[in-house]
Amino acid sequence: MFNQCQTQLNADNFASAKSSCETALQLSEKSEFPQQPGTIGLTSKIQTILNSKKLRQGLAGKTLIDGHYLTKADAETVFQYKKLGIDSADLFEQSQWSSAVEKLQQAIDIAHNNPFVDTTALPDLIFKLQQAKLQILLQNVTEKLHQKAWKDAIKSSSEALTYLEELPADIQQQYRTQLEQNIANSRFEDLKNQADTFFAESNWHDAASFYERLQVLGKNNNDIPLETLTEVSTNIARAKLYHTISGGNTAFSSGSWDEAILAYQTGQSLLAGNKDLHSLTDSDVNTRKIAKIILQISVIKNSQSAKKMVKENNLQGAKTSHQNIIQLIKDSSFADNNDFLKIVTKSSEAIQSLEQEIILSEKRHYLETNYKTIFTTNYPATFPENLSDPLITLVKESPENFLFKLQCTETNRGRRLFLVIYYAYDKKSGTWKLSSGSQ
């Protein structure tokens, strides 16, 4: 019965163990040899078991686990904790980070909330939890980089960096540099996408601005290929060129000739300063076409100036404008162009006409200024102070002469008379003479 008691105790069958030991004790008391050493020793062992902590705690529903007698519920908690530790370790080794985090967190929560749990393994669990969470963040970063979702990649990398601060220095050192590089690369790519979008939308000003910011970022980032930096540099020049040409077009449309010319000349300088642009720009943006546009604008500007001066009776100024047109065309590479040759012909004809008008204007001015002297010379009975309202008319022009009709009003003692003289200008000699009016 004693052996049976021991077996039941070892099997944690506490009630059966107690029953067997009590029966064994009763049998010892009925022994014919109660005082024999063997009997006394056996009885002592039975009493030891009956008085043992294991039996008493077992009969109370408690089990010895890790040196502590625990209730059934607490024991199950300990078993759950240990199982979570084993399962999480397997998941961690298999890089199943999300599942590992779930199991590890459950185990850690049990350890924190149950003082009877052996926390020897807790530091390792916490370390693995940190590592697993970091790996999830790193996987997210890798996914966003693969998807080229640059803004999300920046956000994910920043979150990983922030979390990294909670980890030991050696782990921080292992991952920090790459995360910081991910952020730098993603910022570059995100900014490049924006610059490329502005460029595709013909928003030249913003495109140039973003490419310039991109160039600064690229120079400080060794991961950016030289070809990409070269492309960025070229796109800066292209965007500035197109922006300049666009400004010239706008100024041209609004009739702001000087502004348009300046813009196109700036475009010429940009093209001249970057030979690569010749093969990269649109077919309508090249040095010769820009030069032609500048010449056309200059012709229009001088032509409009000439018309305005004619209206203002500034004939000499109008003539100078037409002379400027002819000189601009002759000095250009379009001197033999048919369209510009027609303009030269037209301006030459305008100059001839203006020269005629200038001469006639000068002669009229002379006659208007000197009409009193002319009339008093040829009408001795008149007095200069009685003459007014001169009227000069070109009667006829010949290769040799201009024939003018001079008319004025003579007022004398209330009497008004109209005086008329025909006066001729000799083109060859440059002299004036009285005429009969039939020349």
Contact 388, 371 (CB under 8 A): no
CATH of 299-358, one of 1.20.58, 1.10.760, 1.10.10, 1.10.3470: 1.20.58
pLDDT tens readout for residues 205-244? 999 999 999 999 998 888 889 999 989 998 998 899 889 9
CA atoms of 293 and 305, how far apart (whole Å)? 18
The helix/strand/coil state of 330 is helix
pLDDT for residue 348:
94
Contact 367, 392 (CB under 8 A): yes
pLDDT for residue 171:
86
pLDDT for residue 94:
87
Task: List the chain residues with pLDDT less than 70.
Answer: 14, 31-38, 53, 55-71, 74, 276, 278-285, 437-439
Residue indicated by tokens 């930096």: 229
Contact 416, 410 (CB under 8 A): yes
The helix/strand/coil state of 22 is helix
Separate counts of helices (H) and strands (E) for the chain: 16, 6
Residue 432 structure tokens: 């004036």
The reply to whether the predicted model has a pTM over 0.75 is no
Longest dimension (CA), the chain: 196
- The gap from C-alpha 5 to its chain's centroid, in whole angstroms, comes to 86
| Neighbouring-strand partners of residue 418 | 409
pLDDT tens readout for residues 27-85? 887 766 656 666 777 888 887 877 776 766 666 556 666 656 666 776 777 788 788 88
pLDDT for residue 66:
63
Contact 406, 421 (CB under 8 A): yes
Q: What burial class does residue 74 get, using C-beta atoms within 10 Å of its C-beta: 0-12 exposed, 13-18 middle, 19+ buried?
A: middle
Gyration radius of the chain over CA positions: 56
